[in-house]
Amino acid sequence: MTTEKTCCDSTCCTDEQTETQVQTQTEQCLKDLVVEKYSQIANQTLQDNLTSACGCGGGCGTDIDYTIMSDSYENLAGYNPDADLGLGCGLPTEFAQIKAGDTVVDLGSGAGNDCFVARAIAGESGRVIGIDMTPVMVSKARANAEKLGFQNVEFYLGEIEQMPLPTETADVVVSNCVLNLVPNKPKALAETYRIMKKGGHFSISDIVLQGNLPAGLQQAAEMYAGCVSGAMQEADYLELIVKTGFRHVQVQKTKPIMLPDSLLEQFLSVQELADFKASRVGIFSITVYAEKV
């Protein structure tokens, strides 16, 4: 007789399964949950998302503005409101040092927002490729590109851990608040290294932690910002990038993610809230640069 144990909300495993099988099953479950959530988002407008808070930054059915993590693209060339679902936590394309003629790959391209900004810099002689594992997102991005008449922007269905691209494709890789959602981050970074040309570089915005969050704050953060549950400690995140083989790693921008007191007060006592605000512990958006030498 076997004993069942829960791996995630929609999957269970048994004692007879190996650790590798359990890990694979759990990772697939997490991917399925992300695809399900982002399929819902793809069929909404930015204004819909602002009111429903169903994205990476919030739990469906709440009235919280999850776009607290995002930065405004409105002043960047190439910005297209139809492609902006408010799902990011930074502006990686602004820091990515893209040049005319570059091939740029966007990991977790969504409806195409960062791709269209990258295309405005890379120009007609450049090539921009978006990778996303949500079919509805890919369809939406392709429709946006067709509407804009872009011939050098492509979108492919695929996972970051196994990208449908040849080795040494990209001069530049960008990504906006996506790697924190990937279960196997070492594999995702190894694939990023593979598809990047020697001498290429990336600029990635992501969510990281600094210090151990109080239990109550962790609960509040995961309700308000679901992607926090997959976030790494910043030092571990940067170390993993170096271990992958990337060099000249630097943090280009750091932005604290401020959860509202009205939410924190539901999970922390008055003293706990005061102690937290006085500490260096917290949730941050960072934009990281690294090169393949």
Residues 113-144 have pLDDT tens digits of 999 999 999 999 999 999 999 899 999 999 99
Task: Quote the longest CA-to-CA distance of the chain.
Answer: 63
Q: Is the pLDDT of residue 48 over 60?
A: no
Of 123, 176, 186, nearest to 151 by C-alpha is 123
Q: What confidence category does residue 258 fall into, taking pLDDT thresholds of 50, 70 and 90?
A: confident
Q: What confidence category does residue 26 fall into, taking pLDDT thresholds of 50, 70 and 90?
A: low
Q: What is the rounded average pLDDT for all residues in the chain?
A: 82
Question: What average pLDDT does the segment 257-263 reach?
Answer: 80
B/e letters for 246-280, b = 16+ CB within 10 Å, e = fewer, are beeeeebbeeebebeeeebeebbeeebbeebeeee
* Predicted pLDDT of residue 191: 98
User: pLDDT per residue over 180-224, tens digit each?
Assistant: 888 899 999 999 999 999 999 999 999 999 998 877 777 666 655
* Predicted pLDDT of residue 180: 84
Asked if residue 69 lies in contact with residue 57, where contact means CB atoms within 8 angstroms, the answer is yes
Distance CA 124, CA 83 (A): 20
* Predicted pLDDT of residue 15: 52
- Greater model confidence, 11 or 276: 276
Pairing of strands 11-14, 4-8: antiparallel
Percent helix, strand and coil across the chain, each to the nearest 5: 40, 25, 35
* Predicted pLDDT of residue 3: 35
Of 5-9, 70-74, 77-81, 150-154, least confident by mean pLDDT is: 5-9
Distance CA 116, CA 18 (A): 44
Q: Is the pLDDT of residue 99 over 80?
A: yes
- Greater model confidence, 36 or 180: 180
Which residue matches tokens 């598809």? 195
* Predicted pLDDT of residue 264: 80
Please list, in sequence order, all residues whose beta carbon lies within 8 angstroms of the beta carbon of residue 143, skipping any fewer than 6 positions away.
Answer: none
Return the domain boundaries, the chain: 16-291
At position 100, the amino acid (one-letter code) is A
Q: What residues are paired with 173 via a beta bridge?
A: 105, 202
Distance CA 218, CA 293 (A): 38
Other CB atoms closer than 10 Å to residue 167's CB: what's the count? 9
Residue 8 three-state SS: strand
User: pLDDT per residue over 171-191, tens digit each?
Assistant: 999 999 888 888 899 999 999
Q: What are the backbone angles phi and psi of residue 169, rounded to the nearest 5°?
A: -90, -40
Q: Is the pLDDT of residue 273 over 90?
A: no
* Predicted pLDDT of residue 4: 35
User: How many percent of the chain have pLDDT more than 90?
Assistant: 52
* Predicted pLDDT of residue 85: 81
- Greater model confidence, 43 or 260: 260
Q: What confidence category does residue 103 fall into, taking pLDDT thresholds of 50, 70 and 90?
A: very high
| Distance, C-alpha 123 to centroid of its chain | 25
Q: What confidence category does residue 53 fall into, taking pLDDT thresholds of 50, 70 and 90?
A: very low
Q: Is the pLDDT of residue 47 over 50?
A: no
Which pair of structure tokens corresponds to residue 15? Answer: 């004692």
- Greater model confidence, 85 or 154: 154
How many helices (H) and strands (E) are present in the chain, helices listed first? 10, 10
Distance CA 227, CA 213 (A): 15
In CATH, the number for domain 16-291 is 3.40.50.150
* Predicted pLDDT of residue 108: 94
